[in-house]
Amino acid sequence: MTANRSPSRKRILLTGAAGGIGSAFFRAEASNYFFRLADRETSSIVSALSQGHEVSALDVADLEACQEVCRDIDIVIHLAAATNPEADFYKALLYNNICGTYNIFRAAKDRGVNASSLPAVRKSSLVIQTMSRLILSHHYVP
């Protein structure tokens, strides 16, 4: 799904946009950037269309889909992941977290996304890093 975008604002692809961290980040920064919100399930994020953003259904395990969603993007913030600590490695974690991360970063590189543009996201990236560390410390780090 697409909407008109302002050429003056940075264009951010936000994967995992329907999740807790992704949706909080979008709410905090929606007026500062043009967003392409991507998630497997988009019903909770379609309201962003009325704000002039885009919404895309995305399976990050699909490299071709990742290539398409990275088209015309300045910044990628990849938050899509299986977060259940009980998730089966082969059925959920391998494809979503490992292959998906590779696919998004491969697609971003192939589409010429400038990795040095990430500091433009300002203080919100620090919030994401802090929240991610808290989540990881409680679920994944022994």
Is there a contact between 57 and 80 (Cβ–Cβ < 8 Å)? no
Calculate mean pLDDT across residues 28-54: 95
- Top pLDDT among 8 and 80 is at 80
Q: What single letter denotes the amino acid at residue 79?
A: L
Looking at the chain, the whole-number percentage of residues with pLDDT higher than 70 is 75
Contact 100, 81 (CB under 8 A): yes
Q: What is the pLDDT of residues 77-86, one digit of tens each?
A: 999 988 888 8
Q: Is the pLDDT of residue 116 over 90?
A: no
Say how far apart CA 112 and CA 55 lie, in whole Å: 21
Domain ranges in the chain are 11-139
Token match 């433009």: residue? Answer: 120
In CATH, which superfamily holds the domain spanning 11-139? NAD(P)-binding Rossmann-like Domain (3.40.50.720)
Reported pTM: 0.77
Instruction: Say what the pLDDT of residue 115 is.
Output: 56
Query: For residues 67 and 38, is the Cβ–Cβ distance under 8 A?
Result: no
Whether 45 and 37 have beta carbons less than 8 Å apart is answered as: yes
- Look up residue 54 and give its two tokens: 């885009």
* Phi, psi of 4, rounded to the nearest 5 degrees: -70, 145
Mean pLDDT of 21-37: 93
